[in-house]
Amino acid sequence: MKKMQNAEKLSDDMRTEYRFDYTKARPNRFAGRAKDCVIVVLDPDVSEVFTTPDSVNRALRALIGAMPRTKTRKRVRKLQASNQ
């Protein structure tokens, strides 16, 4: 019950404006790790089936192969071929 009361109290104490001291800010040390990748959050039921990034990529590439060709898709294929 205390947590509920504290949560209610915090929402009432919200200020209309906050001033942050950006002179104490530091660069994100983890930003470089995700530089060349896109992070996607999967629903729990999907993550049970696709347990690795490779399995997700294979399934999506199979789906892309089944889709009708469009200008955008042709451009993506060329980019993929040049990256490999």
Task: Please report, for the chain, the start and end positions of each structural domain, with discontinuous segments joined by +.
Answer: 2-83
What pTM does this model have?
0.44
What does the alpha-carbon distance between residue 4 and residue 67 come to, in Å, rounded to a whole number? 50
- List the chain pLDDT tens, one digit each, 84 residues: 455 555 555 567 888 889 889 999 998 887 777 677 788 889 999 999 999 989 999 999 999 889 887 776 666 666 677 766
What does the alpha-carbon distance between residue 39 and residue 26 come to, in Å, rounded to a whole number? 23
What does the alpha-carbon distance between residue 49 and residue 77 come to, in Å, rounded to a whole number? 26
Enter the tokens of residue 81.
């071929």
